[in-house]
Chain A
């Protein structure tokens, strides 16, 4: 039975299309999406933007069965993509979130809870130390979080801890759609060795949000935030599944093929 839950990852460093191949894949998407993709200055950013959109359309098609050419995805003012024509779907609040960083583009969907996904690629600019890099973000983490980071170990480990906190905060603001301007310092993450992760918002523990962290590879991590806003109904709280599902790796070729397969089905 379709659950509406998906967690997909694509390693874009494995896809190296020629200029023509890239253009032909771009042309599969609606025109306004094509325009947005070509506005990116760097090719790697265009590639990530394209794959992000392929994932969005694929997930909607696969979960809700809407034909590719009928899918309409818009963005909020904050830039969060969402499906316009999901009405009539069996899922009361099907929503999804995409993220990309470094070599990976990912997507997560949920039938009921708001879901946010953030992927980080753990790296620092050249000619900067871990300490210098992290000091740029001193006001974005709370004193307690910085204290926990300081306790850990080598600069490398501290950097990874920093990225985990950042990743969780991003996933949260992306799930709520609040996006920019939320104020990361208002969020404080508590955890037991990165399990049992909970968030305190403005000093108050939130029981409506669940978080998980995944190691994708040595350099990449992903975080998922799932929750219900509008104050938790006691009922809903009990029904939030505790365990998270893992990520499935997909390839760009698979995503492209599933589109033409979907088109063939519709023309039968």
Chain B
């Protein structure tokens, strides 16, 4: 999908999840697969019990910020906000996996590998955690 070097050369790879996430943002709903239930996208949308929020609660975001700081060995007063990308904070792909693992442990949730790999900002992580927490509490 990525077009390279300004030519018409097109890469035929299945559209990466990040793009799917972007278009789901636009339609107001994230596509997240729940590990234990395997609900299809359509049934999630129609189930009235699940209020899928796009933005995490402030306290969730705050907790995520503090866990991220600890995992990436940042100073206590380092400025970490929802917009901060893991890359800017100094995390490489390995670090990001570890951060997600740390978040899973702290929140008692489990994130699928493909979703974990799409987390780019602290907000992405917090939003995903919020959804998984709501699902866990509703179960």
Contacts and interface: CB of A to CB of B under 8 A. Distances in A.
Interface of A: 39-42, 44-45, 76-80, 82-87, 92-95, 101, 114, 125, 136-137, 139-140, 166, 170, 176-185, 229-231
A230 B11 CA distance: 6
A106 to B, nearest CB: 14
Nearest to B14: A178
15 contacts: A40-B88, A40-B90, A76-B2, A77-B22, A78-B16, A140-B97, A140-B113, A176-B11, A177-B1, A177-B11, A178-B11, A181-B114, A181-B117, A182-B16, A184-B117
B13 A177 contact: yes
Interface of B: 1-7, 9-14, 16-22, 74, 78-79, 87-90, 92-94, 97-98, 101, 113-115, 117-120
Contact of B3 (A76, A180, A185): A76
A198 B21 CA distance: 31
Nearest to B102: A136
A172 B54 CA distance: 32
A95 B113 contact: no
Given A114-B11, A185-B113, A82 B6 contact: yes
Contacts of B98: 125, 136
A207 to B, nearest CB: 15
A42 B113 CA distance: 27
Given A177-B11, A230-B11, A166 B6 contact: no
Given A77-B19, A136-B101, A182-B117, A41 B2 contact: no
A82 to B, nearest CB: 5
A177 B2 contact: yes
Contacts of B9: 92-93
